[in-house]
């Protein structure tokens, strides 16, 4: 999906909050080099105030997220803001290569990209596009492992479990 220059000019940066089966999703869109792009998705608690999408891309992100929540085989097609270091990009590409219903360990990805498991975990935690870049499919050799780099591991871990169940892993 692309948003034209003229549309992007009239629809600058925008933040909205939509419903998700495990809480809420905060969606940031912004104009980057004349094109409207998704700049971030945040997991939010269920009590977060809903804010309706107002630009075309935010509405499309909402539509595609709802399609994924109905069917985990849904393939996202959203313009993403370029972000991240070269290492993070390698990790995120590796996460996107993990098939639906499967997982890979931090160590497996580290070995593949010639890195360390902790660095892979840090890159997964910095992923600005959860759901679209499925870092939830990256797990520890001993179990689920962590999820995201936040102070509320129970909240994010519950989301990881929901996503893996939704995709048929658990």
Query: Which segments in the chain show pLDDT lower than 70?
Result: 1-12, 146-153
Using CA atoms, how far residue 27 sits from 80, 82, 104, 108, 146, in Å, is 12, 16, 27, 31, 23
16, 65, 124, 135: which one is catalytic? 135
Residue 135 is among the residues annotated as catalytic for this protein: yes
Q: Indicate the pTM of the whole model.
A: 0.87
Cα 82 to chain centroid distance, Å, stands at: 14
**Residue 9: predicted pLDDT:** 43
* CATH class of the domain comprising 86-166: mainly alpha
Domain boundaries, the chain: 5-70, 86-166
What is the tens place of the pLDDT at every residue in 64-85?
999 999 999 999 999 999 889 9
DSSP state letters, 93-118:
HHHHTSPTT--EEHHHHHHHHT--HH
Q: What is the pLDDT of residue 67?
A: 98
Q: What is the pLDDT of residue 104?
A: 97
CB-CB contact of 150 with 115 (8 Å):
no
pLDDT number for residue 4: 47
- Residue pair 92/123 in contact (Cβ under 8 Å)? The answer is yes
């Amino acid at each position: 999906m692309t948003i034209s220059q003229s549309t992007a000019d009239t629809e600058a940066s925008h933040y909205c909050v939509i419903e998700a089966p495990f809480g809420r999703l905060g969606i940031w869109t912004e104009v980057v080099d004349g094109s409207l792009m998704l700049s971030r998705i945040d997991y939010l608690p269920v009590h977060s105030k809903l804010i309706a999408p107002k630009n075309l891309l935010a509405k499309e992100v909402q539509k595609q997220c709802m399609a994924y929540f109905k069917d985990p085989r849904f393939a996202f097609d959203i313009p993403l803001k370029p972000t991240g270091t070269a290492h993070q990009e390698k990790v995120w590409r590796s996460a996107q290569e993990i098939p639906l219903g499967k997982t890979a360990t931090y160590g497996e990805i580290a070995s593949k990209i010639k890195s360390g498991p902790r660095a892979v975990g840090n890159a997964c935690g910095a992923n600005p596009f959860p759901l679209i870049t499925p870092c939830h499919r990256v797990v520890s050799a001993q179990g689920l492992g962590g999820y995201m780099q936040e102070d509320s591991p129970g909240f994010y871990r519950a989301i990881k479990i929901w996503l893996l169940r939704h995709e048929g892993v658990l």
